[in-house]
Structure formats: C-alpha cells, structure tokens
Amino acid sequence: MASLYVHIPFCEHKCIYCDFYSIAPQETPIRQRALVQQFLDALKSEIGQRRQEDRFRVPYETVFFGGGTPSLLSPSSLAEILDVLASAFTIQADAEVTLETNPGTVNGEKLKDFRGAGVNRLSIGIQSFHDDELRFLTRIHSSGQGRQCVQDARRAGFENISLDLIFALPLQTSERWASSLRQAVGLGPAHISCYSLIVEPNTPLSNMVNNGRVVPVNTDRDAELYEFTIHFLRSHGYQQYEVSNFAQPGFKSRHNINYWNHSNYLGLGPSAHSFWRSGGAPGAAERWWNIASVPAYADSLWRRVLPVAGREELTLEQLIREEVFLGLRSEGIDVAGFRKRYGRDLLVEQKSRVETLLDEGMAVVEDGMLKLTSKGYLVCDEISASLQY
Ligand code: SF4
C-alpha cells in the first residue's frame, strides 16, 4: 500500500529546537497571503504533474499533512487540496487522513471544519503540560490551550487523536515528566508519541548549548526517562509499536507503519521526501526530496520542472540495511519475507549476534518476526549498527 505526504511550510513562529523546513509569518498580512497562495498554486501544479506518471497510479491508504504547521491553513484550503489529491490519485474510501495540529492555531469551530473536510486523525503537538517547559521550547500555546484542543477535537468528532510529547528537557525532573504523561493519558488519546529533545545542528537551541546557556540532558538520564515512559504507557493500555510510538488497540498510525515497512510514499510540497520501489526487482528503489524554499519550489513548477533538489538510487545493500533498521525500530523483521525479498537468512547470517540479543533479553523471535523488547528499544540504534549489513 502507498501513502501521500503533503508538507505545509508555514509556522506562526520558529521553535528553538526545530530543523524542519518552515517559514515564520512575513512582515505584512498581504505578503503572507501572497506567499500562501503561491504555495497552494504550486502544490496543485506539482500534483498535476505527478499524476501524469503511471507509477503513481496506485491506491493510497493514507494521506498525511505535516510541516510546518498544517493547522494554520484554513479548512477551505485544506478541503481544496484534498479535492485536488482525490481527483489526481486513487485515495481509498477508508484512508487515514492525518493533520498535524498546533493547539495555538485552532478552536472548536476550525477543528469541526477540518473534520468536515475529510481529516479523520489529528496529531496534536502538545509537547508538555507545563507552561514553563512550553515557554522554554518557544511553543506558541499554553498547557491550558493544549488540554482545550484535545477536548475540542473530541467534540468536533475526532476519535483518532494522537498527542506528541517531548521529554529530556534541561532540568526536567522525573516528577514533571511523569505529570505530563499522566495528564496526557488522562485525556484518553488513542495514540501518544514521545520524543526526547534532540539538539539539532544550526538551530537556536544548538547555539544556546554551544555558548553554555543550556546544558543538555545526558544519555543515562535520557534512557531513565525513556524507560519510565515505556513502562508508564504500557501500564495504561498503550502498546509500543515503535521506539517513540504507543497506541491503544486499533489505533496504530497506518501512515507511519507504511514508512517503517518500506512501502512507497509520494511526498508533495517544499522539502517533502519520497520513496518509491520500481517494479519487482529487489534493489530497484529510489528516494528523492524537493527544494526547501517556497519561492524556488513555485518557480520550478511554473517552468513545468519538477521541484526535485536531490535523488538517490538505493542499492540492494542500502535497502537491506534500512529494512533491518526500520524493522528493529518498529514491530520487527519478518524473517521469511526478508529471505524472500533479498535471498538472505537473517537468523543464519547473524546467528551469533541474534543469539546474544535473545540471551540478553534485548530481542525475541515471535511468529516469524525478529523484534526488540523494551530493553532492546533502549539501545535500538546500537543493535541495528551491530548487525553487519
Ligand atoms: S511548530 Fe513544529 S514545525 Fe513549526 S517551528 Fe515549531 S516544531 Fe517546527
């Protein structure tokens, strides 16, 4: 199954830790409206050009609006994009349609209109239920707005609500993190994603770290908070199905699962990434990414040139390595499927390493899947690197 991703490159304000491509408001409302319109026109043009390619004439089971802050768009603009997508591509009737939502940009009415436009899943960037932590992250919303947003979303008819939270903030105590988790669970979302704060290069946060104004949390403390998170969410009925993602039964994100299964996805909008396998031959896959600039993206499309900034053909070895990495991060590697796709037997080729992981309680083999335990998730990157592919 395939997925569509649409990148909406606008934010109300740039958060100090963020390295996603997005632009803060222009100096005047007129310039802002012009830029949004330029983006929307260019996006339609990109969809129009991509629909001409035979390989993209497949059923799509998910559509994900990410960013940036997609919830800054008006519901009518979002409805228009969905209409254009639906007339260009085959989107399944039961498709999962997710909108990343910033609590500072919506109210009950707007959420109802998004629901009416066809969005059926919200991924709400709560990040913390403590106002001082939100201020440190330079988020535009308060903890009260976060809670209100979840309640409004439910009243607007959303059943499938996911909350994003960030832990391992500087000086964050265990009790404060536990309190955010308790409040999240208390709101009863179907899905929760928890990420530790990463200091990305070339962000204001990395400058603050470099000049000593912020001391990042060390890896032991990060691991301690992460371990607590896993146990807490599991004990409250959330199943972990990826390093950072937890869901109530029936509410795993189909879009994310497609990424982790190495399924095809087509990314649209500035900076969007795509992955596509061509035909049945193993190793025949490519990845490409769009220009990360609204004016340059639009300019390219006006010239009828696809706004691709770079692409790579994936070798068979790269695909194997990625599949191991993605499988271990999520619900495991289907050993028989892996053998069929690549003619390689993971349990034979990696026998001694796998046996060590099993003995150490880091991994299990269940129903033909090699998967990590919660202990293994803690050191997932090291385990992936230690498998010699
Ligand atoms: S709202 Fe999200 S995308 Fe926008 S700057 Fe903040 S973290 Fe980045």
Tens-level pLDDT at each residue, the chain (389 residues) = 899 999 999 999 999 999 999 998 877 888 889 999 999 999 999 999 999 999 999 999 999 999 999 999 999 999 999 999 999 999 999 999 999 999 999 999 999 999 999 999 999 999 999 999 999 999 999 999 999 999 999 999 999 999 999 999 998 999 999 999 999 999 999 999 999 999 999 999 999 999 999 999 999 999 999 999 999 999 999 999 999 999 999 999 999 999 999 999 999 999 999 999 976 565 689 999 999 999 999 999 999 999 999 999 998 889 999 999 999 999 999 999 999 988 899 999 999 999 999 999 999 999 999 999 989 999 999 999 888 67
- Counting from 1 in the atom list of ligand 1, the atom nearest the Cα of 138 is 6
d(CA 244, CA 242): 5
Atom 7 in ligand 1: which residue has the minimum CA distance? Answer: 18
Residue 139 tokens read as 């988020």
Domain residues of the chain, as ranges? 2-258, 317-386
Does ligand 1 have an atom closer than 6 angstroms to the CB of 69? yes
- Counting from 1 in the atom list of ligand 1, the atom nearest the Cα of 102 is 1
Nearest in space to 360 (alpha carbons), one of 373, 341, 350: 373
d(CA 266, CA 89): 11
pTM, two decimals, is 0.95
d(CA 161, CA 101): 10
Does ligand 1 have an atom closer than 6 angstroms to the CB of 14? yes
d(CA 53, CA 56): 6
E strand residue ranges, the chain: 2-8, 59-67, 90-101, 121-127, 160-167, 191-196, 239-242, 245-247, 265-268, 273-277, 285-290, 308-314, 333-334, 363-366, 369-372
Does ligand 1 have an atom closer than 6 angstroms to the CB of 20? yes
Residue 255 tokens read as 């879009």
d(CA 190, CA 188): 7
Tell me the backbone φ, ψ of residue 275, rounded to 5 degrees.
-140, 130
- Counting from 1 in the atom list of ligand 1, the atom nearest the Cα of 139 is 6
d(CA 316, CA 344): 11
Q: How far is the CA of 68 from the centre of ligand 1 (A)?
A: 6
Total number of residues shown for the chain: 389
Tell me the backbone φ, ψ of residue 233, rounded to 5 degrees.
-70, -40
The residue type of 128 is S
- To test the pocket of ligand 1, the residue of 10, 11, 203 to mutate (highest count of ligand atoms within 8 Å of its CB) is 11
Q: How far is the CA of 102 from the centre of ligand 1 (A)?
A: 9
Q: Which long-range contacts (CB under 8 A, 24 or more apart) does 86-89 make?
A: 88/47, 88/48, 88/50, 88/51, 89/4, 89/47, 89/51, 89/56, 89/57, 89/60
Does ligand 1 have an atom closer than 6 angstroms to the CB of 101? no
Q: How far is the CA of 55 from the centre of ligand 1 (A)?
A: 32
Does ligand 1 have an atom closer than 6 angstroms to the CB of 103? no
CATH architecture assignment, domain 317-386: Orthogonal Bundle (1.10)
d(CA 13, CA 327): 35
Q: How far is the CA of 69 from the centre of ligand 1 (A)?
A: 7
CATH top class, domain 2-258: alpha beta
Atom 8 in ligand 1: which residue has the minimum CA distance? Answer: 18
Does ligand 1 have an atom closer than 6 angstroms to the CB of 9? no
